[in-house]
Amino acid sequence: MAPMKSLLFVTVLVATVSVVAAARRCGGDAVGVVGAGATIGICYGRVANNLPSPREVVDLLGSRGVTDVKIYDATTDIVHAFANSGITLSVAISNRGVTTMANSQDAANDWVQRYVRPHSHIGSIGVGNEYLSDHGNDASKLVPAMRNVQRALESVGLGHIKVSTPYAFGLISRSYPPSAGEFADNVKSVTREVLEFVQEKNSVFMVNIYPFFSYKNNPHEISLDYALFNPNAPTVWDSGRQYRNLFDAQVDAVYAAMDRLGYGDTKLMITESGWPSNGGATGANNDNARTYNNNLVKHVLRNGTPRRPNDRIKTFIFALFNENEKHGEPEERNFGLYYPDRRPVYHIDLSVSSSSAADRNVTVSVTGDRPADANFRSQAVE
């Protein structure tokens, strides 16, 4: 995750959680999410020296009803822990690995054979993470790396796995109003290539959206309620569209930016979004983190955006754990839903209106583990 540093007044997770069973009270707070026809995710970062083992993490996620996870480091222990767990992974290739993949089809083939093929449930691969935000990275290597990974997948019958690359929202140089969204000039050329690849392969455009950083950088101009999805937030109008939260406005700025490059119908995946519970920064506290993530989940599962009201966007909450070795400001180490000892940082109680065929209202309040399900327990590949 890289902070979005734009000071513009923008008026504007990895674990999919589905309703597989109602949770029962077993003591202790837990995180639970419900929805129909849409998904929410949690990112499993490991920049820490005090986290549970991967197998313990798989058991934790399974007990909470988690069915998808985004990971940043494809290693043998991670792949083995998640194999046959019933959890779908979104896997990342590190920024350091992008040049290797671009320069060598054999390297891409070997990576797929080692980390993807043994796992029965991988839904997407992110080539790099906010790769273009670091000017030290060679932008010309990004799309060739994506194409080599795609060819490697197709060679073993896994071409259905979506390949893309997560962008930082900071690469949107103009985001107010949302309809004026535009990519920064220095990334337009490679972004057009990324979008061409995504459309050609029926993939998704990945982007990290953090209203927190916009609010932190400009708290006197951006309403906290607007950043947190609160119902008393101010309403912003743009081109006949009504915006009641910053998340929608930022997402629609991305849609507008893609449209300006000729790819306005491309589907999005929000590969990171979250709010820190501590760290001393403006707005970084437990109450705001709980409010944002509660409201984010309910909003994503119920609604599209004003620009694309019928599109449900798969969204990953950052992050599963607080990570004590992350660089940057103190809040960077406090985005977790859980402490490393697996205690929840705060309680999440969600009620989501279902859009199922029965058109009934579904309410789930999760305050403990759901009954154990063998399909969600880790079964390491020996």
**pLDDT at residue 216 is higher than 70:** yes
Indicate the pLDDT class of residue 68, thresholds 50, 70 and 90: confident
Q: Is residue 344 part of a domain?
A: yes
Straight-line distance from the first to the last Cα atom of the chain, in angstroms, rounded to the nearest whole number: 33
CATH number of the domain bearing residue 260: 3.20.20.80
Q: Is residue 82 part of a domain?
A: yes
R_g of the chain, CA atoms, integer Å: 20
Question: What per-residue confidence (pLDDT) applies to 84?
Answer: 87
Residue 113's CB is within 10 A of a number of other CB atoms, namely 13
Q: Is residue 180 part of a domain?
A: yes
Q: Is residue 7 part of a domain?
A: no
Section 19-39 average pLDDT: 40
Q: Is residue 109 part of a domain?
A: yes
Domain containing residue 156: 40-376
Section 183-196 average pLDDT: 99
Question: What per-residue confidence (pLDDT) applies to 372?
Answer: 30
Q: Give dist(CA 57, CA 52) in Å, integer.
A: 6
Q: Would strands 205-208 and 268-273 be described as parallel, antiparallel, or unpaired?
A: parallel
Q: Which residues contact 80 (CB under 8 A, 6 or more apart)?
A: 54, 118, 380, 381
Query: In the chain, how many domains are there?
Result: 1
Question: What per-residue confidence (pLDDT) applies to 1?
Answer: 63
Q: Which two tokens stand for residue 284?
A: 């970084």
**Catalytic residue set:** 130, 272
Q: In terms of pLDDT, which residue wins out, 125 or 77? A: 125
Could you tell me what percent of the chain has a pLDDT over 90? 73
Least confident of 57-66, 121-130, 195-204: 57-66
Q: Is residue 84 part of a domain?
A: yes
Q: Is residue 13 part of a domain?
A: no
The residue among 308, 299, 314, 210 whose CA lies nearest residue 264 is: 308
Q: Is residue 141 part of a domain?
A: yes
